[in-house]
């Protein structure tokens, strides 16, 4: 590109206003900055294309107009020049693209492109619609700032549900991480320290082996095998609720986890386990095999595809049914009190002196008891169905009979001081 400041005197004279001075670069400078009736200044010049170009707006001072001309001349000298009009149109188009790239549009595309389990997709859909899109949906991605995210995270509606708040924040952070990868934003606005985790209010109660057996005995007969299975094989409640008879192999002493019951918006559905690693085969200790044999022998309904632990009406067992009812004291009209005994898990945990025990604590119990047998981290993660990149690598090196060895040791007596 040829700079007009190097033009010959003849070509320069073609772009000269006799009353206001040169419009092109020459000995007397570059362009013009005439003062208008309003008192403001205009800036104009003849570009390399020999067309007259005027600044898109006027300037308050002559110095400001000359500064604009200096920048234009520098672009010409560096051979980076395009007309001010073309640049304005390009900036306008870029702004239109920016405004079209709202968080809501990107989030919808993000969700559609992800290979997610149906339950996970429904959960993300719910979190986006109820908690995230109302605040960020119409905003351009670049307009979502750390201050705005902090304000959203601190809102009262989310504070009342800390677990949901942590999940929503993690989802928002993940979406912006992918927006960075797509070069739509430069930085992640999600910078609230620790916002993606929830402080555990309930410390897990880990039972001894003797306490676990006492708990099973205190449970209703139809849930005794379930209690031992949860406490010695570390299965999640949803995994046990979805077990079918065909998943249990009493000859091999194994139970295969291939599905799980989950609750989505108050509705129970049977889907895949929590993670791919959750699909696994777990060896049962002889005690559990015996209990399962007795349990399955007591009910032959449903065939091989029947649920092992059915709930009301043959539906998957609900946690409310398993927990039962707490002991209640009711005051009568005459002033006397009557006590109604509790039943189910509530009554059983009270009977063994563990009133704060939760059902999920049985999973912690199962993993703790397995660790006490000398199981490696990889074996424990394999038995539990945990998923992580590190765990996945360890699984590859775990011996095939490791889980069977753990199950066998779970029935062996322990030495004093290492009570299970």
Q: What is the DSSP string of 110-154?
A: HHHHS---HHHHHHHHHHIIIIIHHHHTTSBGGG--HHHHHHHHT
Q: Could you confirm whether 236 is annotated as catalytic?
A: yes
What's the CA angle centered on 258, arms 265 and 114, to 5 degrees?
Answer: 55
Catalytically annotated residue among 363, 364, 382, 383: 363
Measured CA to CA in angstroms, residue 2 lies from 6, 7, 53, 356 at distances of 8, 8, 16, 83
Are 327 and 341 within 8 A, CB to CB? yes
> What is the torsional sign of CA 358, 362, 367, 372?
positive
C-alpha 203/C-alpha 201 separation (Å) is 6
d(CA 28, CA 386): 78
What token pair was written down for 93?
């188009």
Options 122, 360, 394, 405, the catalytic residue: 360
Query: Which strands sit side by side in the sheet containing 254-257, from one edge to the other?
Result: 248-249, 254-257, 280-283
Q: Is 343 a catalytic residue?
A: no
Tokens in use for 315?
Answer: 């539906």
First to last CA, the chain: 84
Q: Is 265 a catalytic residue?
A: no
Please report the sign of the dihedral spanned by the C-alpha atoms of residue 128, residue 131, residue 135, residue 141: negative
Any catalytic annotation for residue 340? no
Q: Is 304 a catalytic residue?
A: no
Catalytic residue among 153, 346, 395, 405: 395
Catalytic residue among 165, 209, 224, 236: 236
Token pair of 218, please?
Answer: 């205190």
Catalytic pick from 259, 295, 383, 386? 386
Among 254, 257, 253, smallest CA distance to 240 is for 257
Catalytic residues: 236, 360, 363, 386, 395
């Amino acid at each position: 590109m040829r700079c007009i400041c190097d033009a010959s005197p003849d070509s320069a004279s073609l772009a000269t206003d006799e009353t206001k001075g040169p419009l092109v670069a020459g000995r007397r400078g570059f362009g013009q900055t005439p003062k208008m009736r309003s008192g403001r200044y205009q800036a104009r010049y003849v570009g390399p294309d020999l067309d007259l170009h005027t600044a898109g707006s006027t300037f308050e001072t002559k110095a400001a107009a000359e500064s604009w001309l200096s920048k234009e001349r520098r672009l010409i000298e560096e051979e980076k020049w395009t007309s001010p009009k073309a640049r304005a149109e390009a900036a306008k188009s870029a702004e239109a693209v920016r405004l079209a790239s709202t968080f809501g549009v990107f989030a919808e595309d993000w969700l559609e492109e992800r290979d997610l389990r149906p339950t996970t997709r429904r959960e993300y859909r719910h979190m986006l619609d109820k908690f995230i899109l109302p605040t960020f949906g119409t905003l351009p991605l670049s307009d979502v700032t750390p201050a705005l995210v902090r304000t959203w995270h601190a809102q009262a509606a989310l504070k009342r549900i800390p677990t949901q708040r942590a999940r929503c924040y993690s989802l928002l952070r993940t979406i912006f991480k992918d927006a960075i990868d797509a070069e739509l934003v430069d930085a992640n606005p999600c910078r609230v320290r620790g916002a993606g985790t929830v402080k555990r209010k309930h410390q897990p109660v880990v039972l001894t082996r003797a306490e676990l057996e006492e708990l099973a005995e205190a449970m209703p007969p139809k849930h005794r095998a379930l209690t031992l299975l949860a406490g010695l094989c570390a299965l999640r409640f949803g995994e046990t609720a979805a077990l079918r008879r065909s998943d249990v192999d009493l000859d091999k002493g194994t139970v295969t986890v291939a599905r799980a019951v989950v609750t989505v918006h108050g509705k129970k559905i049977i889907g895949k386990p929590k993670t791919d690693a959750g699909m696994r085969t777990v060896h049962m200790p002889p005690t559990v095999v015996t209990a399962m044999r007795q349990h399955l022998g007591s009910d032959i309904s449903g065939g091989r595809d029947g649920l092992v632990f059915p709930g009301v009406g043959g539906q998957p067992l609900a946690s409310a049914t398993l927990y039962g009812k707490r002991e209640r004291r009711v005051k009568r009209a005459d002033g006397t009190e009557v006590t109604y005994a509790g039943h189910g898990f509530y009554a059983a945990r009270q009977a063994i002196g563990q009133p704060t025990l939760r059902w999920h604590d049985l999973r912690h119990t199962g993993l703790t008891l397995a660790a006490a047998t000398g199981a490696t981290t990889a074996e424990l993660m394999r038995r539990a169905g945990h998923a992580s990149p590190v765990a996945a690598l360890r699984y590859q090196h775990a011996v095939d009979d490791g889980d069977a060895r753990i199950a066998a040791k779970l029935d062996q007596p322990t030495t004093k001081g290492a009570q299970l």
